[in-house]
Amino acid sequence: MTPTPDARTTSLPGRPPVVDPATWQTARDELLVREKAHTREGDALAAARRRLPMVEFDGTVEVVGPDGPVPFLDLFEGRDELVLYQHMWYDGAPHQGQCEGCTTAAWHLKDAVYLNARGVSFAVVTTGRWEEVAPYVEFMGYTQPWYSVRDVPAPVGGDMGYLSCFLRDGDRTFLTYSTTGRGNERVNSSLSLLDLTPYGRAETWEDKPEGWPEGRGPCWSWRSDADGTATWGPTSRPVPQWTRPGAAPVETLGRHGDHCH
């Protein structure tokens, strides 16, 4: 039975054509062939990552957490593997002035229970001073371990905005993989789900059919004002911060440049 069109289906600025179920299934099956090829290529890339060489890092170097200085080795929590998110930081900035891109990544990694079940630990590090980082972590409600690596050399310290993997062999630690930019998208399940929808991420760079809504800049929805309107203006903050206690009354700092990944 074909549903009767209404205002909601006819007023959209662009939408897929309406077809019968058999035609839809045929088109879906054709796309599935490409999706399966994409999955197999992803498996091949993962296999290549497992064959990368690694570089040793001094695991005795101290990082600073809630219990004070501890050796980097402690971040493994007794496990052999560690995934690290390296969060950008702006000294002296209020909570809403921190990197919206890194906020997005950390927000999607609030619970590492499934990594832990597989024998992999997870932690967030940043170059911020611990006395600034600690209240930010509490405000955001993060439950994963956070540490300051302010005076720690690369690859743990240094440039932030990276997702990195480490391996422990006894008391020796090794960097096995690192990525940045769009490589960090793998932790952002919201982007993966948006990629399944007709309008996608609603960004200008996307290939979309003629007549589709005009896209906006990358990551345009990652900051909003108190009304939920996406904006980079002085009344904005990373979107999850509006759900945190005391978020609304605090005067915002606005955007700190382009930090999207």
pLDDT tens digits, 134-158: 999 999 999 999 999 999 999 999 9
Q: What count of Cα atoms within 13 Å lies in the side-chain half-sphere of residue 114? A: 2
* The predicted structure's pLDDT at residue 9: 53
CATH label of the domain that carries residue 125: 3.40.30.10
Partnered with residue 167 across adjacent β-strands are 81, 174
Q: Is the pLDDT of residue 261 over 90?
A: no
Partnered with residue 146 across adjacent β-strands are 124
First vs last C-alpha separation in the chain: 45
Round the average pLDDT of the chain to a whole number and report it.
Answer: 91
* The predicted structure's pLDDT at residue 260: 65
User: How many percent of the chain have pLDDT more than 90?
Assistant: 82
Assign 195 to helix, strand or coil.
coil
Q: Is the pLDDT of residue 2 over 50?
A: no
pLDDT band, very low/low/confident/very high, at 254 (cuts 50, 70, 90): low
* The predicted structure's pLDDT at residue 246: 78
183 vs 42: CA distance, rounded Å: 13
Q: What count of Cα atoms within 13 Å lies in the side-chain half-sphere of residue 110? A: 12
Question: Vertex 182, ends 222 and 109: CA angle to 5°?
Answer: 60
Single out the residue of 204, 156, 164, 218 nearest to residue 187, CA to CA.
Answer: 164
pLDDT band, very low/low/confident/very high, at 170 (cuts 50, 70, 90): very high
Question: What is the model's pTM?
Answer: 0.90
Range with top average pLDDT, 5-14, 189-198, 229-238: 189-198
* The predicted structure's pLDDT at residue 115: 97
Single out the residue of 121, 111, 131, 158 nearest to residue 68, CA to CA.
Answer: 131
Q: Is the pLDDT of residue 245 over 90?
A: no
Q: For residues 150-179, give the mean pLDDT.
A: 97
Q: Is residue 107 part of a domain?
A: yes
Q: Is residue 169 part of a domain?
A: yes
Q: Is the pLDDT of residue 10 over 80?
A: no
Count: domains in the chain:
1
85 vs 69: CA distance, rounded Å: 19
Q: Is residue 9 part of a domain?
A: no
* The predicted structure's pLDDT at residue 247: 77
Q: Is the pLDDT of residue 118 over 90?
A: yes
Is the torsion defined by CA of 111, 259, 128, 59 positive or negative? Answer: positive
Q: Is residue 222 part of a domain?
A: no
Give the burial string for 161-196 (b: 16+ CB within 10 Å, else e). bbbbbbbbeeeebebbebeeeeebbebbeebeebee
Residue 238 one-letter amino acid: P
Backbone angles phi, psi at 37, to 5 degrees: -65, -40
Q: Is residue 83 part of a domain?
A: yes
pLDDT band, very low/low/confident/very high, at 27 (cuts 50, 70, 90): very high
* The predicted structure's pLDDT at residue 1: 46
User: How many percent of the chain have pLDDT more than 70?
Assistant: 91
Q: Is the pLDDT of residue 189 over 90?
A: yes
Q: Is residue 202 part of a domain?
A: no
- pLDDT digit string (tens) for 79-90? 999 999 999 999
Q: Is residue 93 part of a domain?
A: yes
Q: Is residue 193 part of a domain?
A: no
Q: Is the pLDDT of residue 8 over 60?
A: no
Residue 73 belongs to domain spanning? 50-186
